[in-house]
Structure formats: structure tokens, C-alpha cells
Structure 1
């Protein structure tokens, strides 16, 4: 391996660091169990290496975040001494040699270990052996929290008055989750035909804008969304803690956007807040793109349970359509199914849908989505 050179960019919070990265930089992070979303953001920033003071995969649970970077040919140096954050100067050139020695201005600053695909796979296999234990702990934490917080999570949320009427409208909520860009591309026909209200949850707003859609509003902690998206969006809902504290409000004030921002306190995540907001405001159908729904999703986010998300989804009920992975179904994320097979499946599925079409508004909306899908597959 040749010597790796680039400007050092330091950040203990990866999702904030990626906003400062430029092609050719070396990202220096403090991120155990690097998740897929963070890894994809680093890859898209076109860094030449990632230096981590923590293990990229600790073995607590199996995940594929580091794979995204290794597959792109980006070297990963891990378990570097934390003093690297004080020993390096942000923005100045650094070098990493083949032994994992990290130097700046000819001075050795720290050492690390390169992570290779074989070692990554060994750790993942070990983690899979203990996944059942992690699942048991996760379920127990979820149930315990749900019992403690069910009253707070199930009562109506005090929401600010919105400038857009959601009553009877279809709503698309875009969350910055694994594969959300691919899933968003897979429903472009639906977005163009139905013109639903679009809500970006933090960085999900940038995903919408990349495809030419301005979100109707942005909901979140405002920590992973770009300044440009915040400035262009007509209305912002800042997620606050139940006691009213809203750390994201500081950034909004710094950008001078207080006039179009409102605070909404909720026990749970910004994704939960967006779902409850859409449901409580009377949306007829809610399509969730990039949502978090399974064990690894929440463990990657450092959460020990998913009580708030579970109860939020129960509150939304049958209006919710989770579009996660729809790009794989459509064949845009992989090999996919052949056109003939897809048409045959669609035709067989159409019979019961036609029967239910006149019986329920929900099935009417589903039928419309299915119609768009068939037309898209046929070109």
C-alpha cells in the first residue's frame, strides 16, 4: 500500500463532519460501529481514507457500514489513539503509511490498524452468533420503556400550526435511512403523478432536493440537513425534548431562520414526530421512505429499544406504507425480477385489489400505486 495523503478533517460527530468534507480529504472520526448511512455519506464525500479512534465493527451486532467504504476502495484505519483529535490540526495535510503510522508535518501523531475485508467478515460472523442475545435485550428494553412512557407517547402531541394543509392529502416522509436515495428514485412516478406533500426528516430533505423536489417542510434536530435545504424550505419543525429543550434551535437562530421555525416537543425520534404530525393533521396516506424498523437499524443509531417508533406506527395505523426496500423490489437496487415475471405477478395481484378497490380508501390508494408500478415496468 502506498502512502495516503490528504487534508485532515476532524469530527467526533460523523453526520456533522460530512458537511465539511471535500474530495481528497482524510476523515478523522470517533464512531464505533460505523453505520451504513454514515458510511455512504463518507463515500459520497469522496474521502481518500477514514481514520477512526474506535473499531468500525465492534462485534456487538452484525452490520455492513464499513463494507460500503472498502468496496469503494477507501482504506479504513481504526483504533487510533483519541489524542489524535488534539495532536492533529484540522485542515492541514497528513500522511498515513503502509504500517498505519499517521503523521503531520513530518511528526508521528498516532498509530492505527488497517481493517481488511477478511477481518471484517470474521467479526461479523462472531457478532451473528450473539445476535439472539442482543435481540432479547432489545425487546426487553422496548417493552420496559413502552410501559413507562406509554401515556406520554399516546396522548395528542402539541403541534405548531402548519402553513400547509395535510387533511385528506397523501404525504411522503423521507428519512435519511439505509438505501433511502434508491427507494426515493423508485417512487418518482408516484411523486410526479400524485404530487403528495413532502416532509424531509433532517438529511432526508437533501435527498428530496437532489432529485428536484423541494420539501414542503423539514422536521428534525437539524443536525444532518444542509444549510441550503433549511434556507429554501418554507417551514421548519424543530424536534425538542419533552421538557422543551431544542438543541437544533441554536443552528436555526444562527442562520437567521427563526421566523419560519416552530418547536414541537416529543418523546421519541424525529422520524416518530414526522409520522405523528402527518397522522394528527389528517393525512389520508403516509408513505415512509428510509424509515428505521429493525434491530440493526436501532443498534446502529445507539438506541437500546424502539418503543417510541413502535407506538408511533401503531398511532398511524393502516394509513402507513413503508417504502423501505422498494428499489430492490423494482429491480433498481440489484438484479431484480424479469419483466415477464413482474407483469405476471402484477396481473395476479390485480384481481383481489380490484375487488377491494371500491371498499376502502386505503386500497384505492394502493391500487393507484400498483397501477403506476405496472406502467413503469412496461416502459
Structure 2
């Protein structure tokens, strides 16, 4: 539910290679002023803001403990600067987002206060200089300008807060077990789907950490094992971008494109426990049928529970949360379901990086070349020793010359 939009992801590679060049466009003006001068875009939900940000614009957000996925989405949009109403590092845990922005050369002004949402309007031209936000000559907001040194210091101090966060995590886990005991233990509430998962591998793609690299490394595995491809919200677009059509799309449908929803995949809409499913309306408007899965877990968690309940023999996860910091980066509300889902799925679940390290194609390229060469030598020997060799040899020679002529033509 927290993955960046399809529009921002299509620009991620360019953003990572050229952010400093793009950002420099607004850094200096002819009037001698420094800082970033650009149009301001405001939204309290970072995920929604990244859908309409243009390169060089100033993003005004309200995001306590800016997480890694949101920061990478902002980088991919090539923002000129980020102004955060809340502290980007509160000290609860060492979140990864601010460091990503600073390393990309994006100015980050922290803790400017909620008043900026009333003082600024969407589309206003602003100038972000040091720790101050200006509109013309007016100072609209003032906060803390983050640097590599301040972020490093804050991250070091935040590591001390891990103990209290783990205590809160334990309490949250117990509450989640009480709510979803039947689903976790007995699979009660898992809907029936038409996609056949029994006895097959399932590849679940979340547009999260290093998903693009993971999909690339799994190409030999996908080609050989033909797993059921399950995209979690924007993960469906990630599969399409990689050249694969998802067999199933799971999620609340707020971060997936219309192209993905109409590609022919089976749709499973994530609903609240009371049955409300905001994403169902959008699916029906596209003329597509859907199955509803009510649960308080996250979308990636219900995708794993669904694959496990329907008999998948192996579940390979791409872009999901794999360690303690990533769990915390996700937010405490979603930590318990992810942790308990992994316990429920057990040994079936394998991270994509583990598969890429362990899996090797059964037939290597060199083995295939030696096989072809051996077959060619055997044919030549058989023709030479055959009584009909005098007849066949000129024919093979003609074919060989024709092949060489065709091959030469490709490079001339």
C-alpha cells in the first residue's frame, strides 16, 4: 500500500543518474539569490504527491520518519527540494529516507510546522534557501536544513530508540493476533480464486526495495519454472515493465495503472475487515471483475497468505521487507502483520536475492555451445565417411557459403 506510483517509477533510472544536473537548474538566479526556486506542490500523502510532481518542483509533505520507498519515489520525480512539515527523523528508529534524499543532492528542510499548508497554495512559486521557505519577499516557513552530518548524527541517536520500538511492536503483534487469529491459523476468510496455485511456485512482486534489480536477476528462474506471477498494487506495473504479464493483481488498487488492471490478470481487491473496499469501484468502472479479500494485514501480506492457502509450493518475494529496519521503516501499524505472515508461511517463503544466489540455470551457455559444436563435428565426420559424401559435400558447402554471405550482410 506504500509503493510509489507507476509514473514516477518510469523515470527512476534517469533520476538516479542526473539528479544533481537537474536540481542545479533552480539553484542560482541572475539576481544573485541562491537556493531552489520553483513551483510548490503540496500533499499530506507523499504517495499521492509523487503522482503529479514534475522535475525541479518543490515537494511540501507531512511525513514523520520519511521512509526509504517514499524517498526513492521523490528522487525518481527529480524534485528540486523537499519541505517536510514534520521531522523526517523523529528518533524512534533509524529510518532511511532522509539519507537517500541528501545523497541524491536534494535539499531537505525539516519540521517547518503545519501552518505552511494554509500559507501556501498549490502552484505557488517559492524559493527554498538554507532552512527558510520564501514566497517572493515573504518568509512562509522556517525549519531545519538537513545535511549529511545532521542526518548521520540523528541516525546514530535514533538507534537508541530501537528497544522501545520493539516493545511497541510486541504489543501491536498481540493485538493483531487477537483480530486475525482465524485467518493466520486456519486460513478463514481467504477467498476462492480461479488462478491455479496448487503445486506451483508463486512470484510475488512489490514495488519496494531493489525490485527492478531483483526481477532482472530472476529471469532465468522465471523462464524455467514458470511461476504464478502476482503483482501487489504497483508491482503489477513492475512486471509489465519487465516484459511479463501478471497472472494475479492483489491490493487496494490505489497505486496500479489502468493498463495493468485491464491486462487480463485476476484481480483480488484488499478490503477492510468490515467489508469496505474502496478499490472495488475503480475496478468495476474499468469493466473488470474482482474478488474481495477483507483483512487488516497489508496487501503484500495477504498476497502471501493467499498463495500459501491455495497450495503454492514455493513463494518468492521481490521488493518486500526483509529485515528489522525495513519493518520499522514500514510503520508500526504494518509491522505485526508482516512479521506474523512470514511465520505463517514459514519455509515456503524465499527472498528474491536468495533465489538469485542459489539458482543456476541447468544448462549453461558454454555447455550449449559445446553441444552444438559436438553435433556439427559428428555431422561433418558422418558425411565424410559416407559413400554419398561426394554428393552431399557440395550441397553443404553451398549452404555454408550462403550462411556466411547472409551473416556478412548483417554487418555491412
State TM-score, norm by structure 2: 0.74
Distance 1:229 1:25 in 2: 28
- The corresponding residue for 2:78 is 46
Q: Deviations over 1:294-327 (max 9, x none)?
A: 333233222257443343233333322122x459
SS at match of 1:232: coil
Query: Does residue 284 of structure 1 match 2:313?
Result: yes
- The corresponding residue for 1:87 is 119
Residue 37 of structure 1 and its aligned partner are, at CA, apart by: 0.7
- The corresponding residue for 1:274 is 303
Residue 215 of structure 1 and its aligned partner are, at CA, apart by: 1.7
SS at match of 1:15: helix
1:20 paired residue among 35, 52, 74 = 52
- The corresponding residue for 2:391 is none
- The corresponding residue for 2:292 is 263
Q: Which moved more, 1:145-154 or 1:117-126?
A: 145-154
Q: Deviations over 1:76-124 (max 9, x none)?
A: 1111221222322223432222342232x55432223211111111111
- The corresponding residue for 1:308 is 337
- The corresponding residue for 1:370 is 359
Distance 2:240 2:336 in 1: 31
Q: Are 1:183 and 1:326, in contact at CA under 8 Å, matched by a contact in 2?
A: no
Query: Does residue 296 of structure 1 match 2:325?
Result: yes
Q: Are 1:153 and 1:267, in contact at CA under 8 Å, matched by a contact in 2?
A: no
- The corresponding residue for 2:172 is 141
Instruction: Give the ranges of 4+ consecutive aligned residues of structure 1 lying more than 6 Å apart after TM superposition.
Output: 376-379
Q: CA separation of 1:373/1:180 partners in 2, compared to 1, >3 Å: closer, same or farther?
A: farther
SS at match of 1:259: coil
Q: Are 1:138 and 1:295, in contact at CA under 8 Å, matched by a contact in 2?
A: no
Distance 1:147 1:159 in 2: 17
Q: CA separation of 1:281/1:252 partners in 2, compared to 1, >3 Å: closer, same or farther?
A: same
Q: Which moved more, 1:290-299 or 1:46-55?
A: 290-299
Q: Are 2:169 and 2:336, in contact at CA under 8 Å, matched by a contact in 1?
A: no
- The corresponding residue for 2:37 is 5
Q: Are 2:43 and 2:62, in contact at CA under 8 Å, matched by a contact in 1?
A: yes
SS at match of 1:371: coil
Residue 203 of structure 1 and its aligned partner are, at CA, apart by: 2.1
Q: CA separation of 1:143/1:82 partners in 2, compared to 1, >3 Å: closer, same or farther?
A: same
Q: Are 1:142 and 1:304, in contact at CA under 8 Å, matched by a contact in 2?
A: no
- In our comparison, the structure showing a higher alpha carbon Rg is 2
Q: CA separation of 1:326/1:69 partners in 2, compared to 1, >3 Å: closer, same or farther?
A: farther
Q: Which moved more, 1:88-97 or 1:145-154?
A: 145-154
Distance 2:277 2:110 in 1: 33
Q: List alignment gaps of at least 5 residues for structure 1.
A: 331-368
SS at match of 1:272: helix
Q: CA RMSD in A?
A: 2.8
Paired residue total: 336
Q: Which moved more, 1:145-154 or 1:187-196?
A: 145-154
Distance 1:265 1:258 in 2: 21
Distance 1:30 1:251 in 2: 27
Distance 1:198 1:64 in 2: 29
Distance 1:231 1:376 in 2: 37
What is the 5 A alignment of 1:285-364?
285-304=314-333, 306-323=335-352, 325-326=353-354
Q: Are 2:204 and 2:303, in contact at CA under 8 Å, matched by a contact in 1?
A: yes
Q: CA separation of 1:33/1:377 partners in 2, compared to 1, >3 Å: closer, same or farther?
A: farther
Distance 1:303 1:56 in 2: 16
- The corresponding residue for 2:128 is 96
Residue 167 of structure 1 and its aligned partner are, at CA, apart by: 2.2
Q: Deviations over 1:16-55 (max 9, x none)?
A: 2211122122111110111111111111111111111011
Distance 2:229 2:202 in 1: 6
1:170 paired residue among 184, 201, 205 = 201
Q: CA separation of 1:376/1:48 partners in 2, compared to 1, >3 Å: closer, same or farther?
A: farther
Distance 1:231 1:25 in 2: 32
What is the 5 A alignment of 1:134-283?
134-147=165-178, 149-232=180-263, 234-253=265-284, 256-257=285-286, 259-283=288-312
SS at match of 1:260: coil
Q: Deviations over 1:47-76 (max 9, x none)?
A: 111111011111110122111111111111
Residue 244 of structure 1 and its aligned partner are, at CA, apart by: 0.5
